[in-house]
Structure 1
Amino acid sequence: MEQLVFRAPRETRGGRSWPVFLGALVELTPTPGGLALVSPYHTHRAGDPLDLVALAEQVQKADEFVRANATNKLTVIAEQIQHLQEQARKVLEDARRDADLHRVACNIVKKPGNIYYLYKRESGQQYFSIISPKEWGTSCPHDFLGAYKLQHDFSWTSYEDIEKQDAKISIVDKLLSQPVALPPSPEPNFQGLTH
C-alpha cells in the first residue's frame, strides 16, 4: 500500500530552518468589494514575520492531521479487507469440503436435516452411513472419520458445529418470521437477536 506523506517544505535563512508557507495569503486590494478603506495602512502593512511562521506551522499541523485521519481511515479499511479475505477463504474451504462430501459413496438418498456418519474402508474408499459408531459398538467394521449434518441448502455441518449452526439458523428464522424483517428506525435494532 502506498504511503501518503505530508510535509511542509523548509528553507534555511540566517542559519535557522524555517517552514516554507505553502498556503496563500489573501490578495491585497485598495477597494475590497468596491468600498474604499478608511485606513489602507492597517490592512496592507507587513505583519510580524513570526505571523508567517505561525501560518506555515498551522498548515504543517493541518497536513499532519489530514495524514493521521487518512491513516486511521485506511487502517479501518485494511482491517475490513482482511476480514473479508478471511471470510472468502472460509467460504471457499467450506465449498470444497461440501463438494468432496457430496462425492462420497452412499447407498441411500441423502435427505436434508439428517446426520450422516463418514467411514473409511481398508481399501481407502470413504462412504456415508446412517449408523453411528455408538450403534455399531465394538463391532464397527471400518474407521470412523466424522459425522456431518446435511443442511437444507445442501451444505454440510460437522457434528461439533451442529448446535452452533442450528442456533444461527434459529435466529435467522426468527427474523424471517417477524412481520417486518427490518426495523423502520434508522438506528440499529438488535432486539430479539440474542437469547
Structure 2
Amino acid sequence: MNSHVNANPIVQPVSSSSESGRNKQAVGIGTATDLVEIAKQIQDCEQYVSANACARLHLIVKQMQCLKKQAEEILTQCQRDIEVHKLPCNFVKRPGKTYYVYQKPDGSNCLCLLSPEEWGSLCPNKYIGAYKLMPDMTWMSEDQLSEWDQTDKLVHQLVSTPTFPAIDSKEAV
C-alpha cells in the first residue's frame, strides 16, 4: 500500500479473523494513489474486454460472410437444377447418368443422351454443356465433375479405411 503524509485516505476492506475463526471484513485505510491505480486497472480491463469482444465479433462476421456466400451458391445451383430439370427431353432421367444440353436453331434448349463426340459432325444443335444427375436429383456440371470425382474417391477411401489418410496429400486420392 502506498502511504503519503498528505494523501487523502480511502476506505479499503481488509480481512481479519474473529474469535469464531471466521473471516470478517474490516476497514483499512488506502490512499488516493491506490484509487487512481484501481481506476486505471478497471479502464485497462475494459479495453482488453472490448478488444477481445471485437476480435470474436470479427470472426463471427467472417463466418456470416462465408455462410452468406454459401447460401447464394446453393440458391444459384438450385435455380440451375430446376432449369435443367425443366428442359424438354424424350427419355426418363436416371441418377448417375450424364446428359447433354444443346441449343436448337430456334434458341430453345433441350436435354440429350448423346455427347458431342457421339454426334460427331452430324449434331444439328449448338452444344451448351454436360450435367450429371446426382442421387439427390441435383445436377453436377461438367466443370464440377472432376473435382467431385476426386473428392468422391477420397470419401470412399475414408469410409473403407480404419485409419485416417492425409486429406491434402495427392497420394491419398
Alpha-carbon shift at residue 148 of structure 1 (Å)? 1.0
Q: With the length of structure 2 as denominator, give the TM-score of the two structures.
A: 0.76
Q: Which amino acid aligns with 1:96?
A: Q
Q: Which residue of 1 aligns with 2:157?
A: 174
Paired amino acid for 1:147: A
Question: Which is strand-richer, 1 or 2?
Answer: 2
- 1:52 and 1:45 map into 2 onto residues whose CA distance is 11
1:125: which partner in 2? Answer: 108
Deviation at 1:107, TM superposition (A): 0.9
Cα distance, 1:33 vs. partner?
4.3
List alignment gaps of at least 5 residues for structure 2.
1-10, 20-26
Kindly provide the amino acid, as one letter, of the partner of residue 127 in structure 1.
C
Asked whether 1:71 is paired with 2:54, we answer yes
Shift of 1:192: 4.9
Aligned-residue CA RMSD (Å): 2.3
Quickly say closer, same or farther: Cα 1:155–1:106, change in 2 above 3 A. same
Q: Alignment partner for residue 86 of structure 1, among 66, 69, 77?
A: 69
* 1:44 to 2:28 alignment: yes
Question: Following the alignment from structure 2 to structure 1, what is the Cα–Cα distance between the partners of residues 87 and 30?
Answer: 87
Output one character per residue of 1:118-150: Cα deviation in whole Å (capped at 9) or x when no partner: 011122321111222223233321111111111
96-105 or 123-132, which deviates more: 123-132
**What residue in structure 2 maps to residue 137 of structure 1?**
120
Contact 2:101 2:130 in 1 (8 A): yes
1:96-175 to 2 correspondences below 5 Å: 96-175=79-158
CA contact (8 A) 2:12 2:30 kept: no
Contact 2:158 2:165 (8 Å CA) reproduced: no
How far the C-alpha of 1:44 sits from its partner, in A, is 2.5
Q: Take 1:152 and 1:26, find their aligned partners in 2: how far apart are those partners?
A: 73
Q: After TM superposition, give the deviation of residue 105 of structure 1 in Å.
A: 0.8
Percent identity, aligned pairs only, is 34
Q: Which moved more, 1:63-72 or 1:80-89?
A: 80-89
Q: Which runs of 5+ in 1 are unaligned?
A: 1-24, 36-42, 184-189
